Amino acid sequence: MSETMTAPVPGLRADLKLYDDEALRLRADFPILSRTVHGKPLVYFDNAATSQKPTAVLDALNDYYTRYNANVHRGIHTLSEEATSAYEHAREKVAQFIHAPTPTGLIFVRNTTEAVNLVAQAWARKNLRPGDGILVSVMEHHSNLIPWQIVAQQTGARLRFLDIRDDGSLELDDLDRLLGERTRLVALAHMSNVLGTVNPIAEIAARAHAVGALLFVDAAQSVPHMPVDVQTLDCDFLAFSGHKMCGPTGIGGLYGRPALLEAMDPFMGGGSMIGEVHQEYFTCAALPEKFEAGTPNIAHAIALGVTVDYLSSVGMDRIRAHELALTRYMIARLSEIEGLTVYGHAPGRGGAVAFILDNVHPGDLSTVLDREGIAIRAGHHCAQPLMRRLGTPYMATARASVYLYNTSDEVDIFIDAVRKARRFFA
Protein backbone atom coordinates (compact mmCIF):
# COMPACT_ATOMS: atom_id res chain seq x y z
CA MET A 1 0.00 0.00 0.00
CA SER A 2 1.26 3.47 -0.79
CA GLU A 3 2.27 5.60 2.18
CA THR A 4 -0.32 8.24 1.33
CA MET A 5 -3.34 5.95 1.22
CA THR A 6 -5.56 5.84 4.26
CA ALA A 7 -5.97 2.34 5.66
CA PRO A 8 -9.21 1.34 7.34
CA VAL A 9 -8.72 0.05 10.88
CA PRO A 10 -11.06 -2.94 11.20
CA GLY A 11 -14.05 -2.30 13.46
CA LEU A 12 -13.14 1.25 14.32
CA ARG A 13 -14.52 2.97 11.22
CA ALA A 14 -17.91 1.31 11.61
CA ASP A 15 -18.18 2.51 15.26
CA LEU A 16 -17.40 6.01 14.13
CA LYS A 17 -20.02 6.35 11.39
CA LEU A 18 -22.81 7.42 13.76
CA TYR A 19 -20.60 9.91 15.55
CA ASP A 20 -19.33 11.29 12.26
CA ASP A 21 -22.88 11.95 11.06
CA GLU A 22 -23.63 13.91 14.21
CA ALA A 23 -20.32 15.80 14.09
CA LEU A 24 -21.06 16.81 10.50
CA ARG A 25 -24.44 18.14 11.63
CA LEU A 26 -22.87 20.06 14.55
CA ARG A 27 -20.21 21.61 12.33
CA ALA A 28 -22.91 23.80 10.79
CA ASP A 29 -23.14 25.55 14.20
CA PHE A 30 -19.47 26.65 14.04
CA PRO A 31 -18.93 29.28 11.32
CA ILE A 32 -15.12 29.19 11.60
CA LEU A 33 -15.00 25.52 10.61
CA SER A 34 -15.99 26.35 7.06
CA ARG A 35 -12.92 28.49 6.43
CA THR A 36 -9.85 27.41 4.53
CA VAL A 37 -6.18 27.70 5.53
CA HIS A 38 -3.58 27.90 2.76
CA GLY A 39 -6.34 26.96 0.33
CA LYS A 40 -7.23 23.75 2.21
CA PRO A 41 -10.29 23.07 4.37
CA LEU A 42 -9.42 23.78 8.01
CA VAL A 43 -8.82 20.68 10.16
CA TYR A 44 -8.88 22.07 13.68
CA PHE A 45 -7.06 19.69 16.02
CA ASP A 46 -5.90 22.22 18.64
CA ASN A 47 -8.92 21.90 20.89
CA ALA A 48 -6.95 21.24 24.07
CA ALA A 49 -5.51 24.75 23.68
CA THR A 50 -8.82 26.40 22.87
CA SER A 51 -12.07 25.37 21.21
CA GLN A 52 -14.22 26.95 18.51
CA LYS A 53 -17.50 28.77 19.27
CA PRO A 54 -21.01 27.99 18.02
CA THR A 55 -23.26 30.71 16.62
CA ALA A 56 -25.49 30.57 19.71
CA VAL A 57 -22.57 31.72 21.88
CA LEU A 58 -21.50 34.44 19.43
CA ASP A 59 -25.12 35.64 19.26
CA ALA A 60 -25.36 35.80 23.06
CA LEU A 61 -22.39 38.19 23.18
CA ASN A 62 -23.87 40.37 20.47
CA ASP A 63 -27.29 40.30 22.08
CA TYR A 64 -25.96 41.51 25.44
CA TYR A 65 -24.04 44.43 23.91
CA THR A 66 -26.86 45.27 21.50
CA ARG A 67 -29.83 45.10 23.85
CA TYR A 68 -29.00 45.29 27.56
CA ASN A 69 -25.35 46.28 28.15
CA ALA A 70 -25.18 47.65 31.72
CA ASN A 71 -23.21 47.03 34.89
CA VAL A 72 -24.55 44.33 37.20
CA HIS A 73 -25.72 44.43 40.82
CA ARG A 74 -25.49 48.19 41.22
CA GLY A 75 -27.99 49.96 39.01
CA ILE A 76 -31.69 50.35 39.71
CA HIS A 77 -32.73 50.69 36.11
CA THR A 78 -34.11 48.29 33.55
CA LEU A 79 -30.91 47.55 31.65
CA SER A 80 -28.94 46.87 34.83
CA GLU A 81 -31.69 44.63 36.17
CA GLU A 82 -31.78 42.67 32.91
CA ALA A 83 -27.98 42.32 32.89
CA THR A 84 -27.92 41.25 36.56
CA SER A 85 -30.65 38.71 36.03
CA ALA A 86 -28.91 37.24 32.93
CA TYR A 87 -25.53 37.15 34.76
CA GLU A 88 -26.98 35.35 37.79
CA HIS A 89 -29.03 33.02 35.60
CA ALA A 90 -25.81 32.06 33.81
CA ARG A 91 -24.24 31.29 37.18
CA GLU A 92 -27.15 28.96 38.01
CA LYS A 93 -26.79 27.14 34.69
CA VAL A 94 -23.01 26.76 34.94
CA ALA A 95 -23.33 25.56 38.56
CA GLN A 96 -25.92 22.99 37.48
CA PHE A 97 -23.69 21.87 34.62
CA ILE A 98 -21.05 20.65 37.12
CA HIS A 99 -23.72 19.65 39.67
CA ALA A 100 -22.66 22.18 42.27
CA PRO A 101 -25.14 21.95 45.15
CA THR A 102 -25.73 25.72 45.09
CA PRO A 103 -24.90 28.56 42.66
CA THR A 104 -23.16 30.48 45.47
CA GLY A 105 -20.39 27.87 45.31
CA LEU A 106 -19.62 28.88 41.72
CA ILE A 107 -17.29 31.87 41.39
CA PHE A 108 -16.80 33.43 37.97
CA VAL A 109 -13.09 33.83 37.27
CA ARG A 110 -11.10 34.63 34.13
CA ASN A 111 -9.83 31.08 33.62
CA THR A 112 -8.48 27.98 35.34
CA THR A 113 -5.21 29.74 36.07
CA GLU A 114 -6.94 32.50 38.03
CA ALA A 115 -8.96 29.92 39.96
CA VAL A 116 -5.80 28.07 41.07
CA ASN A 117 -4.18 31.33 42.15
CA LEU A 118 -7.34 32.30 44.02
CA VAL A 119 -7.30 29.11 46.09
CA ALA A 120 -3.53 29.25 46.56
CA GLN A 121 -3.66 32.78 47.95
CA ALA A 122 -7.06 32.85 49.65
CA TRP A 123 -6.99 29.35 51.18
CA ALA A 124 -3.48 27.88 51.14
CA ARG A 125 -1.56 30.99 52.15
CA LYS A 126 -3.68 31.36 55.27
CA ASN A 127 -3.88 27.69 56.22
CA LEU A 128 -0.48 26.16 55.41
CA ARG A 129 2.33 26.06 57.97
CA PRO A 130 6.04 25.31 57.51
CA GLY A 131 6.48 21.59 56.79
CA ASP A 132 2.89 21.05 55.60
CA GLY A 133 2.59 19.14 52.33
CA ILE A 134 1.00 19.99 48.98
CA LEU A 135 0.72 16.91 46.77
CA VAL A 136 0.66 17.40 42.99
CA SER A 137 1.71 15.12 40.13
CA VAL A 138 4.37 15.18 37.42
CA MET A 139 1.66 15.54 34.76
CA GLU A 140 0.39 18.94 35.96
CA HIS A 141 -0.01 21.93 33.68
CA HIS A 142 2.10 24.86 34.92
CA SER A 143 -1.16 26.54 35.98
CA ASN A 144 -1.67 23.81 38.57
CA LEU A 145 1.94 23.89 39.73
CA ILE A 146 3.39 27.39 39.85
CA PRO A 147 0.67 28.89 42.12
CA TRP A 148 1.44 26.07 44.61
CA GLN A 149 5.20 26.68 44.26
CA ILE A 150 4.58 30.35 45.05
CA VAL A 151 2.47 29.60 48.12
CA ALA A 152 4.99 26.98 49.26
CA GLN A 153 7.66 29.68 49.20
CA GLN A 154 5.37 32.04 51.10
CA THR A 155 4.41 29.55 53.83
CA GLY A 156 7.28 27.08 54.09
CA ALA A 157 5.02 24.25 52.87
CA ARG A 158 6.62 21.49 50.77
CA LEU A 159 5.59 20.15 47.39
CA ARG A 160 5.46 16.41 46.81
CA PHE A 161 4.96 14.70 43.44
CA LEU A 162 2.99 11.67 42.35
CA ASP A 163 4.76 9.90 39.48
CA ILE A 164 3.20 8.26 36.42
CA ARG A 165 3.27 4.68 35.15
CA ASP A 166 4.38 3.68 31.65
CA ASP A 167 0.84 4.02 30.26
CA GLY A 168 0.56 7.60 31.57
CA SER A 169 -1.73 6.78 34.50
CA LEU A 170 -0.90 8.05 37.98
CA GLU A 171 1.26 5.82 40.17
CA LEU A 172 -1.40 5.43 42.84
CA ASP A 173 0.59 2.78 44.71
CA ASP A 174 2.64 5.71 46.06
CA LEU A 175 -0.39 7.74 47.08
CA ASP A 176 -0.74 6.68 50.72
CA ARG A 177 3.01 7.02 51.36
CA LEU A 178 3.09 10.49 49.82
CA LEU A 179 -0.09 11.65 51.51
CA GLY A 180 1.28 11.27 55.05
CA GLU A 181 -0.30 13.17 57.88
CA ARG A 182 1.19 16.57 57.03
CA THR A 183 -0.43 16.78 53.56
CA ARG A 184 -3.01 19.53 53.67
CA LEU A 185 -3.83 19.79 50.00
CA VAL A 186 -3.84 17.52 46.94
CA ALA A 187 -4.02 19.37 43.61
CA LEU A 188 -4.45 17.25 40.48
CA ALA A 189 -5.60 17.46 36.89
CA HIS A 190 -8.80 15.58 36.15
CA MET A 191 -7.62 15.00 32.58
CA SER A 192 -4.06 15.53 31.37
CA ASN A 193 -3.62 17.98 28.51
CA VAL A 194 -0.67 15.91 27.22
CA LEU A 195 -1.30 12.25 28.07
CA GLY A 196 -5.10 12.39 27.92
CA THR A 197 -5.15 10.40 31.19
CA VAL A 198 -8.36 10.71 33.19
CA ASN A 199 -7.43 10.50 36.86
CA PRO A 200 -9.66 8.64 39.36
CA ILE A 201 -10.59 11.75 41.30
CA ALA A 202 -13.31 10.25 43.53
CA GLU A 203 -10.92 7.53 44.74
CA ILE A 204 -8.16 10.07 45.36
CA ALA A 205 -10.63 12.37 47.16
CA ALA A 206 -11.52 9.59 49.59
CA ARG A 207 -7.87 8.84 50.31
CA ALA A 208 -6.97 12.54 50.66
CA HIS A 209 -9.90 13.21 52.98
CA ALA A 210 -8.93 10.21 55.12
CA VAL A 211 -5.75 12.08 56.13
CA GLY A 212 -7.54 15.42 56.47
CA ALA A 213 -6.30 16.90 53.19
CA LEU A 214 -8.43 18.90 50.74
CA LEU A 215 -8.62 18.08 47.03
CA PHE A 216 -8.30 20.72 44.31
CA VAL A 217 -9.21 19.50 40.80
CA ASP A 218 -7.87 21.17 37.66
CA ALA A 219 -10.78 20.32 35.36
CA ALA A 220 -9.66 22.50 32.42
CA GLN A 221 -9.60 19.43 30.17
CA SER A 222 -12.45 17.41 31.68
CA VAL A 223 -15.38 19.82 32.03
CA PRO A 224 -15.39 20.47 28.24
CA HIS A 225 -15.20 16.79 27.29
CA MET A 226 -17.06 14.59 29.77
CA PRO A 227 -19.81 14.75 32.37
CA VAL A 228 -18.40 16.24 35.59
CA ASP A 229 -20.24 16.09 38.90
CA VAL A 230 -18.45 17.80 41.78
CA GLN A 231 -20.60 15.97 44.30
CA THR A 232 -19.78 12.51 42.92
CA LEU A 233 -16.11 13.46 42.67
CA ASP A 234 -16.36 14.74 46.25
CA CYS A 235 -13.72 17.37 45.54
CA ASP A 236 -13.29 20.55 47.60
CA PHE A 237 -12.40 22.88 44.71
CA LEU A 238 -12.69 22.44 40.94
CA ALA A 239 -11.62 24.87 38.22
CA PHE A 240 -12.31 25.16 34.49
CA SER A 241 -12.05 27.62 31.57
CA GLY A 242 -14.91 28.66 29.28
CA HIS A 243 -12.74 28.97 26.17
CA LYS A 244 -11.93 25.25 26.12
CA MET A 245 -15.63 24.27 26.17
CA CYS A 246 -16.97 26.23 23.18
CA GLY A 247 -17.37 29.34 25.33
CA PRO A 248 -15.67 32.72 25.21
CA THR A 249 -12.18 33.57 26.44
CA GLY A 250 -11.77 35.47 29.70
CA ILE A 251 -14.41 33.58 31.66
CA GLY A 252 -14.21 30.41 33.71
CA GLY A 253 -15.46 28.87 36.90
CA LEU A 254 -14.21 27.96 40.33
CA TYR A 255 -16.36 25.62 42.37
CA GLY A 256 -15.65 25.53 46.10
CA ARG A 257 -17.44 23.86 48.96
CA PRO A 258 -19.51 26.75 50.30
CA ALA A 259 -18.30 26.22 53.91
CA LEU A 260 -14.68 26.52 52.75
CA LEU A 261 -15.38 29.58 50.60
CA GLU A 262 -17.20 31.17 53.54
CA ALA A 263 -14.17 30.72 55.79
CA MET A 264 -11.70 32.11 53.23
CA ASP A 265 -10.50 35.69 53.03
CA PRO A 266 -11.03 37.50 49.72
CA PHE A 267 -8.51 37.09 46.92
CA MET A 268 -8.77 40.64 45.56
CA GLY A 269 -10.17 43.82 47.09
CA GLY A 270 -12.26 46.52 45.42
CA GLY A 271 -15.81 47.22 44.39
CA SER A 272 -18.54 44.58 44.56
CA MET A 273 -16.81 42.34 47.13
CA ILE A 274 -17.66 44.50 50.13
CA GLY A 275 -20.41 44.71 52.70
CA GLU A 276 -19.44 48.00 54.44
CA VAL A 277 -16.38 50.15 53.94
CA HIS A 278 -14.92 52.41 56.65
CA GLN A 279 -11.75 54.48 56.53
CA GLU A 280 -9.66 51.77 58.18
CA TYR A 281 -11.48 48.54 57.39
CA PHE A 282 -14.14 46.79 55.35
CA THR A 283 -16.50 43.87 55.70
CA CYS A 284 -16.97 41.28 52.96
CA ALA A 285 -19.98 40.70 50.74
CA ALA A 286 -21.65 37.31 50.92
CA LEU A 287 -20.74 34.55 48.47
CA PRO A 288 -20.15 34.60 45.59
CA GLU A 289 -19.54 38.38 45.35
CA LYS A 290 -16.79 38.15 48.00
CA PHE A 291 -14.57 36.64 45.30
CA GLU A 292 -15.72 38.77 42.36
CA ALA A 293 -14.05 42.14 42.93
CA GLY A 294 -14.63 44.82 40.30
CA THR A 295 -16.88 44.74 37.26
CA PRO A 296 -17.03 41.12 36.15
CA ASN A 297 -16.83 39.79 32.60
CA ILE A 298 -20.62 40.13 32.25
CA ALA A 299 -21.02 39.41 28.54
CA HIS A 300 -18.81 36.36 28.61
CA ALA A 301 -20.40 34.95 31.78
CA ILE A 302 -23.82 35.23 30.12
CA ALA A 303 -22.41 33.57 27.00
CA LEU A 304 -20.93 30.80 29.17
CA GLY A 305 -24.48 30.08 30.33
CA VAL A 306 -25.48 29.70 26.67
CA THR A 307 -22.41 27.51 26.13
CA VAL A 308 -23.47 24.99 28.77
CA ASP A 309 -26.99 24.95 27.26
CA TYR A 310 -25.38 24.11 23.94
CA LEU A 311 -23.17 21.33 25.33
CA SER A 312 -26.08 19.90 27.33
CA SER A 313 -28.27 19.85 24.22
CA VAL A 314 -25.62 17.72 22.49
CA GLY A 315 -25.13 15.65 25.66
CA MET A 316 -21.90 15.33 27.61
CA ASP A 317 -22.14 11.51 27.58
CA ARG A 318 -22.44 11.65 23.82
CA ILE A 319 -19.47 14.03 23.49
CA ARG A 320 -17.36 11.75 25.66
CA ALA A 321 -18.35 8.61 23.69
CA HIS A 322 -17.60 10.32 20.37
CA GLU A 323 -14.19 11.47 21.56
CA LEU A 324 -13.31 8.05 22.97
CA ALA A 325 -14.06 6.46 19.59
CA LEU A 326 -12.29 9.16 17.59
CA THR A 327 -9.23 9.10 19.86
CA ARG A 328 -8.99 5.31 19.64
CA TYR A 329 -9.10 5.63 15.87
CA MET A 330 -6.51 8.41 15.79
CA ILE A 331 -4.07 6.50 18.02
CA ALA A 332 -4.53 3.30 16.01
CA ARG A 333 -3.80 5.19 12.78
CA LEU A 334 -0.81 7.07 14.24
CA SER A 335 0.62 3.81 15.57
CA GLU A 336 0.79 2.45 11.99
CA ILE A 337 3.37 5.11 11.13
CA GLU A 338 6.95 3.95 11.46
CA GLY A 339 9.11 6.01 13.81
CA LEU A 340 6.14 7.63 15.52
CA THR A 341 5.64 7.45 19.30
CA VAL A 342 2.33 8.28 20.98
CA TYR A 343 2.42 9.27 24.66
CA GLY A 344 -0.39 8.18 26.98
CA HIS A 345 -2.21 4.85 26.74
CA ALA A 346 -4.26 4.78 29.92
CA PRO A 347 -7.69 3.16 29.54
CA GLY A 348 -10.47 5.69 28.90
CA ARG A 349 -8.00 8.43 27.98
CA GLY A 350 -9.35 11.67 26.53
CA GLY A 351 -8.73 13.26 23.17
CA ALA A 352 -5.42 15.10 23.60
CA VAL A 353 -2.89 12.97 21.72
CA ALA A 354 0.79 13.90 22.12
CA PHE A 355 3.29 12.28 19.78
CA ILE A 356 6.79 12.50 18.37
CA LEU A 357 8.04 11.65 14.90
CA ASP A 358 11.66 10.43 15.06
CA ASN A 359 14.20 13.12 14.20
CA VAL A 360 11.56 15.74 13.40
CA HIS A 361 11.15 18.79 15.62
CA PRO A 362 7.46 19.05 16.62
CA GLY A 363 7.49 22.73 15.64
CA ASP A 364 8.64 21.83 12.12
CA LEU A 365 5.95 19.16 11.85
CA SER A 366 3.30 21.64 12.97
CA THR A 367 4.48 24.16 10.35
CA VAL A 368 4.29 21.56 7.58
CA LEU A 369 0.82 20.42 8.68
CA ASP A 370 -0.36 24.03 8.74
CA ARG A 371 0.40 24.20 4.99
CA GLU A 372 -2.17 21.40 4.65
CA GLY A 373 -4.77 23.37 6.63
CA ILE A 374 -4.24 21.27 9.79
CA ALA A 375 -3.93 23.02 13.15
CA ILE A 376 -2.09 21.05 15.83
CA ARG A 377 0.07 22.26 18.73
CA ALA A 378 3.78 21.76 19.25
CA GLY A 379 5.84 22.49 22.31
CA HIS A 380 5.97 21.64 26.00
CA HIS A 381 2.22 22.22 26.45
CA CYS A 382 2.91 24.13 29.70
CA ALA A 383 4.07 20.85 31.23
CA GLN A 384 7.87 21.07 31.33
CA PRO A 385 8.27 18.70 34.32
CA LEU A 386 6.25 16.11 32.37
CA MET A 387 8.40 16.58 29.24
CA ARG A 388 11.48 15.90 31.42
CA ARG A 389 9.80 12.87 33.02
CA LEU A 390 8.91 11.45 29.59
CA GLY A 391 12.36 12.28 28.24
CA THR A 392 10.90 13.71 25.04
CA PRO A 393 13.50 14.93 22.56
CA TYR A 394 13.51 18.75 22.22
CA MET A 395 11.52 18.97 25.53
CA ALA A 396 8.45 19.05 23.29
CA THR A 397 5.86 16.96 21.48
CA ALA A 398 3.32 17.50 18.74
CA ARG A 399 -0.28 17.29 20.00
CA ALA A 400 -3.51 16.72 18.10
CA SER A 401 -6.66 17.15 20.17
CA VAL A 402 -10.25 16.52 19.11
CA TYR A 403 -13.66 17.87 20.02
CA LEU A 404 -17.33 17.27 19.27
CA TYR A 405 -17.14 18.66 15.72
CA ASN A 406 -14.21 16.52 14.50
CA THR A 407 -14.68 13.53 12.22
CA SER A 408 -12.78 10.40 11.25
CA ASP A 409 -12.32 11.85 7.75
CA GLU A 410 -10.35 14.66 9.36
CA VAL A 411 -8.23 12.07 11.18
CA ASP A 412 -7.51 10.46 7.79
CA ILE A 413 -6.49 13.81 6.27
CA PHE A 414 -4.22 14.39 9.28
CA ILE A 415 -2.66 10.90 9.05
CA ASP A 416 -1.95 11.35 5.35
CA ALA A 417 -0.34 14.72 6.07
CA VAL A 418 1.85 13.26 8.86
CA ARG A 419 2.99 10.50 6.47
CA LYS A 420 3.75 13.10 3.81
CA ALA A 421 5.71 15.17 6.34
CA ARG A 422 7.67 12.09 7.39
CA ARG A 423 8.77 11.52 3.78
CA PHE A 424 9.55 15.20 3.41
CA PHE A 425 11.83 15.28 6.47
CA ALA A 426 13.47 11.97 5.59
Span near ligand PMP by CB under 6 A; candidates 3-11, 22-30, 105-113, 418-426:
105-113
Q: Please report whether residue 113 would count as binding ligand PMP according to CB under 6 A.
A: yes
398 three-class SS: strand
Q: Please report whether residue 220 would count as binding ligand PMP according to CB under 6 A.
A: yes
Q: What is the DSSP string of 190-240?
A: SB-TTT--B--HHHHHHHHHHTT-EEEEE-TTTTTTS---HHHHT-SEEEE
Span near ligand PMP by CB under 6 A; candidates 31-39, 54-62, 110-118, 271-279:
110-118
Q: Name the residue nearer to ligand PMP (CB basis): 105 or 242.
A: 242
Smallest distance, ligand PMP to C-beta of residue 48, A: 6
Q: Please report whether residue 189 would count as binding ligand PMP according to CB under 6 A.
A: yes
R_g over Cα of the chain: 22
CB pairs under 8 A, 24+ apart, for 7-16? Answer: 7/333, 7/336, 9/329, 9/332, 9/333, 12/325, 12/328, 12/329, 12/332, 13/329, 13/408, 15/325, 16/325, 16/326, 16/329, 16/407, 16/408
* Angle in degrees, 0-180, between the axes of helices 316-335 and 12-27, rounded to the nearest 10: 130
Residue from 29, 46, 218, 410 that binds ligand PMP (CB under 6 A)? 218
Residue from 112, 137, 307, 407 that binds ligand PMP (CB under 6 A)? 112
376 three-class SS: coil
- The 3-class SS string of 293-334 reads CCCCCHHHHHHHHHHHHHHHHHCHHHHHHHHHHHHHHHHHHH
Tell me the C-alpha to C-alpha distance, in Å, between residue 12 and each of 3, 8, 97, 324: 20, 8, 31, 11
Q: Please report whether residue 380 would count as binding ligand PMP according to CB under 6 A.
A: no
Q: Name the residue nearer to ligand PMP (CB basis): 199 or 408.
A: 199
Smallest distance, ligand PMP to C-beta of residue 241, A: 3
Catalytic machinery residues: 382
Residue from 84, 137, 221, 406 that binds ligand PMP (CB under 6 A)? 221
**8 Å CB contact between 128 and 158:** no
Beta strand 252-256 with 237-241 is antiparallel
Q: Name the residue nearer to ligand PMP (CB basis): 48 or 411.
A: 48
Compute φ and ψ for 295, nearest 5 degrees. Answer: -70, 120
Of 245-304, binders to ligand PMP (CB under 6 A) are none
Residue from 47, 193, 199, 392 that binds ligand PMP (CB under 6 A)? 193
Q: Name the residue nearer to ligand PMP (CB basis): 145 or 404.
A: 145
Of 125-154, binders to ligand PMP (CB under 6 A) are 141, 143-144
Show the site string, 235-254: x = touches ligand PMP by CB under 6 A, - = not: ------x-------------
The CA distance from 323 to 139, in Å, is 21
Span near ligand PMP by CB under 6 A; candidates 23-31, 77-85, 108-116, 268-276:
108-116
Smallest distance, ligand PMP to C-beta of residue 311, A: 17
Contacting residues toward ligand PMP, per CB under 6 A: 48, 111-113, 141, 143-144, 189, 193, 218, 220-221, 241, 382
